[in-house]
């Protein structure tokens, strides 16, 4: 094993409150009700482009939502994200031995997140939805990481928490570590990031 890759939302950070608040802010400006749990579950694991199309159906409404998005900065919501317990100690233990990476369906908010929480230096490669033609559940982000590091699929672990993470890992042939989601099919299941140390026998 040479590379440990992570999803972002729900793995590196608890972003539930910030994501919900952001999309609710857009919907309220268009006189729409706040997100249902089903709508939030979709928004939490898909790209912003797909989420906007899902939450604001119809060409006219979607156009208004896209215009609002351009005027509504995500930056205040990034500050509300909560780093997962144990993340920094884990990264500090991983770095001397393994390469680390992020594969996330986040797009233009990713640079702000990395800067605000000062975690960019702890990752060797970051692939967002903007960096591939097909985001998760397609395998493109993970195969891009494999190509970047020049490794085989068997040499990378991917830590994810959603069905799109499972589907992407399966399609790329990469072993999945399912974080706090027992419904996923994975090679390993964990409820805390520290358990990755046990998997790797650190």
Query: How many residues belong to the chain?
Result: 202
Predicted TM-score (pTM) above 0.75? yes
Average pLDDT over residues 172-183: 98
Query: 10-46 pLDDT, tens per residue?
Result: 999 999 999 999 999 999 999 999 999 999 999 989 9
Query: 53-92 pLDDT, tens per residue?
Result: 999 999 999 999 999 999 998 888 988 899 999 999 999 9
Q: What is the pLDDT of residue 74?
A: 86
Query: 115-152 pLDDT, tens per residue?
Result: 999 999 999 999 999 999 999 999 999 999 999 999 99
Greatest CA separation found in the chain?
Answer: 54
The closest alpha carbon to 164, from 127, 139, 193, 130, belongs to 139
**In sequence order, which residues have a C-beta less than 8 Å from that of residue 16 and are 6 or more positions away?**
10, 40, 44
β-bridge pairing 175-179 and 156-160: parallel
The closest alpha carbon to 148, from 103, 114, 196, belongs to 103
Q: What is the pLDDT of residue 16?
A: 92
Task: Give the relative orientation of helices 163-172 and 140-149 as an angle to the nearest 10 degrees.
Answer: 50
């Amino acid at each position: 094993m040479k590379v440990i890759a992570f999803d972002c939302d729900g793995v590196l950070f608890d972003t539930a409150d910030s994501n919900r608040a952001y999309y609710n802010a857009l919907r309220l400006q268009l006189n729409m009700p706040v997100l249902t749990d089903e709508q939030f579950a979709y928004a939490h694991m898909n790209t912003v482009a797909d989420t906007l199309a899902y939450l604001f159906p119809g060409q006219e409404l979607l156009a208004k939502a896209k215009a609002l998005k351009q005027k509504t900065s995500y930056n205040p919501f990034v500050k509300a994200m909560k780093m997962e317990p144990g993340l920094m100690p884990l990264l500090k233990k991983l770095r001397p031995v393994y390469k680390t990476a992020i594969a996330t369906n986040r797009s233009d908010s990713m640079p702000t997140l990395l800067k605000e929480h000062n975690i960019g230096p702890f990752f060797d490669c970051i692939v967002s939805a903007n960096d591939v033609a097909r985001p998760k559940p397609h395998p493109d982000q993970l195969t891009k990481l494999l190509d970047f590091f020049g490794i085989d699929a068997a040499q990378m672990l991917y830590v994810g928490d959603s069905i799109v993470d499972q589907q992407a890992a399966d399609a790329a042939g990469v072993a999945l570590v399912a974080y706090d989601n027992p419904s996923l099919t994975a090679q390993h299941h964990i409820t805390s990031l520290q358990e990755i140390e046990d998997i790797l026998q650190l």
